Structure 1
């Protein structure tokens, strides 16, 4: 299979340390990381500017920024567990994941990481799956694996674990919501250890991090982002699998759904996806036929085209923008229009507020003041 992967890059040890310190600093996520690096010129320069940005945003206490020694210790501890922290474009970083605007600046990978460079299909679904759903997930995963695809999923109970188990021999990728040493659910530690022999595991979280409820949607964007498409086997109307499907759609990935009985609430979400335009599938051939044209296109890492920031907004503009914000989420475009300020000024004020721990970002470009 020719995925026409982009040329590999390699960052220096010093850059890896700087990146790790920046992404582990308080209130810095992948999008904020990207904005800071673009504005400041490098991760090292961004580290120097962090306290000033947070102060301007009204931080109530000094921002925690890991020291160089802290970063080196994390790299060394990770290496002892067989985990490498790699940047977009480096060997082992899933090429399609690197395309995303919110791609992790460093991704923890372990196992047979060469499989992370192969074309992936994600299979997700209900934790409380039916026997028929589990059987279909197994057949689909095995057939896709036999066809040369890597099966990706979230190591959860139900459909996820069935897909992993059926594709172990061909290589499967587990996307973790917590750190590599904090596996959830705990009963799947043995499954993870088994799949690592021919597959891989990835996580953007630090060692020791225990996943919480809000971390699973964050994990789901990696499941869909690393893949050509996402297959939802079973999902109730409020299932986390529907979040994965929504993220896949936003990322430009293919969304597939397996139809089910209208009488089974576990099929309500998948049937709903089909009504909304997801591709109905009943076998692996349906998925393969849909993704083959995509695989022929070259994978190009995104250019750093993040919106520019303003050098230092004046106090009046900053106060006006903050006053327009509140606990009710508002669209960024609406905030720019209502403020009368330039997009660069608004984005800078929002970055300051975020680094101060005063801003919350929601799905769909919505923001609110904490």
Structure 2
């Protein structure tokens, strides 16, 4: 459980320019806590080749965001705390803090994602609602993205049993506008969640980021209707990459809205015609998921700067093609701590991409 000052420091650190979840975790591991990491940011960015330090929210700005969340009836939940979704905590890019409005108990229960087309057919919406209702009645929380079509049908049907909606923007910017009534119901009877600053306006690039939280909170994701190129297939791909189960509902080959779901089945997704198809696969997994944690404070590693020779060897090995960090350690002859420090410097200078699965690349 974070204290008030630690929570504010975590918020300032994750809201800092060029600090994403993976960089946040690396900074905490390297410096033992957010306060020490915040102090080190200017030096690290300068060593990485940046002239100006990355923009970090002031104490006053962080306090203002937390006050705005309080006015909305929301709160910040940190990884490792009781209300942090257990499955989400196991992602390597899990947000260290999430903004939550709603009932805390739904976030602790096992979840299933249901996603699909915004322009869903009547049959698709009907099936999504029946599936969500049956899953909720069996004790599962239904997670989706609050969009039109399949998302909305799944949320509406699972209100009584438990549902979680994930925002692409901040909690003060619900989207889409026509679902405001539904969003309020989800917040009152379940929970709504965002990792973004409270007043963040959602952009197109934020929706895939949102989708990774939908799949990350879930033990499995069901695609009800999806065209061959759709956000729902992005969610399914992310689910597979995260080690989640992928399910799909078959549809008519004459309906383009079923093309993506049918292809998922051809590729090995579990075919779904009723809730038991999902429950039979996920029930054995549910009891094995336990919360993970980032330590709030701990002993720092040696934060000394790598020598110029070590830095040059790591930089020489980096390029636009993603490379595993373990390979950088092996090929450079540097220690793991030296490589991690060089990567932090480049990250904070805005020169590094972290595409996931322990890989990095130069921008």
Q: How much has 1:61 moved relative to structure 2?
A: 2.1
C-alpha distance in 2 between matches for 1:247 and 1:272: 16
What is the aligned partner in structure 1 of residue 205 from structure 2?
214
What is the aligned partner in structure 1 of residue 354 from structure 2?
361
Picking from 19, 26, 29, the partner of 1:35 is 26
Unaligned runs of 5+ in 1: 1-9
Q: How much has 1:334 moved relative to structure 2?
A: 5.3
C-alpha distance in 2 between matches for 1:23 and 1:30: 7
Q: How much has 1:328 moved relative to structure 2?
A: 4.8
Picking from 292, 306, 311, the partner of 1:313 is 306
What is the aligned partner in structure 1 of residue 251 from structure 2?
260
What is the aligned partner in structure 1 of residue 12 from structure 2?
21
What is the aligned partner in structure 2 of residue 232 from structure 1?
223
What is the aligned partner in structure 2 of residue 119 from structure 1?
110
Say if 1:92 and 1:109, in contact at 8 Å, map to a contact too.
no
Q: How much has 1:341 moved relative to structure 2?
A: 4.0
C-alpha distance in 2 between matches for 1:315 and 1:56: 10
What is the aligned partner in structure 2 of residue 7 from structure 1?
none
Q: How much has 1:178 moved relative to structure 2?
A: 0.5
Picking from 47, 57, 62, the partner of 1:56 is 47
C-alpha distance in 1 between matches for 2:75 and 2:36: 24
C-alpha distance in 1 between matches for 2:81 and 2:195: 15
C-alpha distance in 1 between matches for 2:284 and 2:52: 52
Change (3 A) 1:239 1:334: farther
Say if 1:92 and 1:117, in contact at 8 Å, map to a contact too.
yes
Say if 2:92 and 2:356, in contact at 8 Å, map to a contact too.
no
Say if 2:87 and 2:289, in contact at 8 Å, map to a contact too.
no
Listed one character per residue, the Cα deviations across residues 46-83 of structure 1 (whole Å, up to 9, x for unaligned) are: 11111111111111323211122221121111101111
Listed one character per residue, the Cα deviations across residues 10-35 of structure 1 (whole Å, up to 9, x for unaligned) are: 21111111111111111111111111
Aligned residues: 359
Listed one character per residue, the Cα deviations across residues 96-135 of structure 1 (whole Å, up to 9, x for unaligned) are: 2122222211110011222111221110112222222111
Change (3 A) 1:129 1:298: closer
Q: How much has 1:309 moved relative to structure 2?
A: 8.2
| TM-score, normalising length: structure 1 | 0.90
Say if 1:154 and 1:160, in contact at 8 Å, map to a contact too.
yes
Residues 1-370 of structure 1 mapped to structure 2, 5 A cutoff: 10-297=1-288, 299-301=290-292, 311-332=304-325, 335-336=328-329, 339-362=332-355, 366-370=359-363
Change (3 A) 1:80 1:302: closer
C-alpha distance in 1 between matches for 2:358 and 2:233: 18
What is the aligned partner in structure 2 of residue 5 from structure 1?
none
Say if 1:124 and 1:159, in contact at 8 Å, map to a contact too.
yes
Say if 2:87 and 2:217, in contact at 8 Å, map to a contact too.
yes
What is the aligned partner in structure 1 of residue 298 from structure 2?
none
C-alpha distance in 1 between matches for 2:335 and 2:2: 34
Unaligned runs of 5+ in 2: 296-300
Q: How much has 1:196 moved relative to structure 2?
A: 1.7
Change (3 A) 1:325 1:20: same
